């Protein structure tokens, strides 16, 4: 998820590491804050793989600043990751939001629709946070008001996403 966010933000424009960190935190920070000890090793991995380039420019006050730019290989890699998301990128809501934030960079409407169809199929499977044996429990079946609330909120969120997915897929296919 972190590497995808790095590639996605740099696809738009070159950024300083600090600015990149702020943008990633705005996208995912409420769920998983981005620590420098996580971000900078990921940047180094992507740089070593030839997906990013680093240039140095003078700092406005003190030390020089490093500007990160996506290479052509980085552009291709982002599009590949968007076209072929890992199953966890489809099933995990936070990872899905990262895919969704950059899916516009996958310029082929058919390929975008295929990714959305995978998420739609995942959401259409019966599921719950709570089960009676193998049977998913519905909010109405729970006495615990907090668990009932969790399922009620999750259902409303899923319904909104299902509606959006169906409309967007129809638009892309239309």
Report pLDDT for 32: 64
Specify the 3-state DSSP secondary structure of 125: coil
Report pLDDT for 90: 96
Task: Express each pLDDT in 107-164 by its tens digit.
Answer: 999 999 999 999 999 999 888 889 999 998 999 999 999 999 999 999 999 999 999 9
Pairs from 79-86 (Cβ < 8 Å, separation ≥ 24): 79/105, 79/106, 79/107, 81/4, 81/7, 82/4, 82/106, 82/111, 82/115, 83/111, 83/114, 83/115, 85/115, 85/118
Report pLDDT for 37: 79
Closest CA to 42 of 57, 27, 24, 55: 24
Query: Is the pLDDT assigned to residue 89 strictly greater than 90?
Result: yes
Report pLDDT for 174: 86
Task: Express each pLDDT in 21-61 by its tens digit.
Answer: 889 988 876 656 677 778 889 999 999 999 999 988 776 66
Report pLDDT for 46: 97
| Three state DSSP letters for 8-32 | HHHHHCCEEHHHHHHHHHHHHCCCC
Closest CA to 46 of 93, 78, 94: 78
Report pLDDT for 31: 59
Task: Express each pLDDT in 70-88 by its tens digit.
Answer: 999 999 999 999 999 999 9
Specify the 3-state DSSP secondary structure of 159: helix
To the nearest 10 degrees (0 to 180), the angle between helices 93-102 and 72-83 is: 130
Q: What is the pTM of this model?
A: 0.86
Q: What pLDDT band is residue 173 in, cutting at 50, 70 and 90?
A: very high
Mean pLDDT along residues 84-96: 93
Report pLDDT for 41: 92
Report pLDDT for 102: 97
Distance CA 142, CA 165 (A): 29
| Region for residue 97 given its phi and psi (left: phi exceeds 0; alpha: psi -120 to 50; beta: otherwise) | alpha
Where does the chain show beta strands of DSSP type E? 15-16, 52-57, 65-70, 131-132, 135-136
């Amino acid at each position: 998820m972190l590497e995808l966010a790095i590639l996605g933000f740099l696809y738009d424009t070159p950024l300083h590491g600090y600015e990149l960190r702020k943008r990633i935190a705005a996208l995912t920070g409420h769920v998983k804050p981005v620590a420098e000890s996580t971000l900078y090793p990921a940047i180094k991995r992507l740089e070593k793989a030839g997906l990013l380039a680093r240039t140095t420019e003078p700092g406005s006050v003190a030390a020089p600043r490093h500007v990160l730019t996506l290479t052509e290989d980085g552009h291709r890699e982002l599009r590949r990751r968007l076209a072929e998301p890992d199953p966890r990128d489809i099933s995990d809501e936070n990872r899905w939001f990262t895919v969704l934030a950059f899916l516009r960079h996958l310029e082929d409407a058919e390929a975008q629709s295929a990714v959305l169809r995978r998420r739609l199929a995942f959401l259409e499977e019966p599921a719950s946070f709570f089960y009676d044996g193998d049977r998913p429990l519905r909010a109405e079946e729970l006495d615990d008001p907090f668990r009932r609330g969790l399922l009620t909120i999750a259902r409303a969120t899923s319904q909104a996403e299902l509606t959006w997915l169906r409309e967007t897929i129809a638009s892309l296919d239309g």
